[in-house]
Amino acid sequence: MDIEREIRVRAEEIDALLSAYLPPEEGLQRTVLSAMHYSVTAGGKRLRPMLMQETYRMFGGREGVVEPFMAAIEFIHTYSLVHDDLPAMDNDEYRRGKKTTHAVYGEAMGILAGDALLNYAYETAAGAFERWPDHPRVGQALLVLAKKSGVYGMVGGQVVDVESEGCADMTREKLDFIYRLKTGALLEGAMLIGALLAGASEQECRTVREAAGAVGLAFQIQDDILDVTGTPEVLGKPIGSDEKNQKSTYVSFEGIEKAKEDVAALTEHAIAQMNSLTVKNEFLVELLRYLISREK
């Protein structure tokens, strides 16, 4: 399997889906709508909607009910990046090789664009109630989306991350908490929503959740590694931002070699969990392996 080609094909399909769900750039509020479009179409791996779609397919999902949730989770991920880049947070001017949203539209509009994307994500996902009124798990999927992106998920992890900057009392346990919530929760939510909407059993959902949790942790550790070893040209963003912002990372606790070993171990654990399922999706397994070992 040419995994990079398969990823590109699926990412292009997801890009088209996102464009279809984005609101038109019109009306007196069109500046924020333009900023939303700019933020979402700036590129990216489309990892979360891709994981959701492939998990849905693995469990036999065939309806289009997964599509508004795919769009919604990418809108939420994008809003988090827009806010991460703000001067009050990471203060980055480039992401994916392009100027960040606040660098183009100003800080105030950057804040509003993030707010708009978050709210519009829930508008989009909630639309599934009208289009598929008889689907038994739309409500469960919406609850997972909300929890994994909120104070018990991504936002909660971000809070502890911000409060821990420059703190001498940072621990590995707290760092793991940050990673599992800030990065892992949304990845976990993506795969879990795909499984739920396709009708996976409770045990199957638990297995997917465990695999996704390992993927999320490994993904963030790899991010830490790349922040030290990567280049701005390859990554499309500045390197060394963790050190600049006085952030403790997995690499600063364990060193590069141990971090690489742990990424490999977490990857194999995630793959073993996926292989334990009776249903299979070869592309999904290869996608997990590829994304965790990525170089950008």
Instruction: Report the predicted TM-score, pTM, of the whole model to 2 decimal places.
Output: 0.91
Read off the amino acid at residue 90: D
pLDDT at 254 over 80: yes
Tens of pLDDT, residue by residue over 212-233, are: 999 999 999 999 999 888 655 5
Measured between alpha carbons, how far is 50 from 28 in angstroms, rounded to an integer?
A: 34
Question: Per CATH, is 3-292 categorized as 1.10.760.10?
Answer: no
CA-nearest of 56, 43, 69 to 283 is: 56
Segment of 29-38, 155-164, 258-267 carrying the highest mean pLDDT: 29-38
Tens of pLDDT, residue by residue over 5-33, are: 999 999 999 999 999 999 999 999 999 99
**Least confident among 37-41, 77-81, 198-202, 214-218:** 214-218
Alpha carbon 76 to its chain's center:
8
**Domain spans of the chain?**
3-292
Measured between alpha carbons, how far is 291 from 274 in angstroms, rounded to an integer?
A: 15
The DSSP code for 94 is E
Measured between alpha carbons, how far is 279 from 260 in angstroms, rounded to an integer?
A: 30
> For residues 238 and 199, which has the higher predicted lDDT (pLDDT)?
199
Cite the DSSP H helix spans in 22-106.
30-40, 47-58, 66-84, 101-105
The DSSP code for 2 is -
Q: How confident is the model at residue 242 (pLDDT cuts 50, 70, 90)?
A: low
pLDDT at 235 over 50: no
pLDDT at 245 over 80: no
Q: Are 39 and 117 in contact (CB under 8 A)?
A: yes
Section 62-79 average pLDDT: 97
Section 100-107 average pLDDT: 97
Beta bridge partners of 99: 94
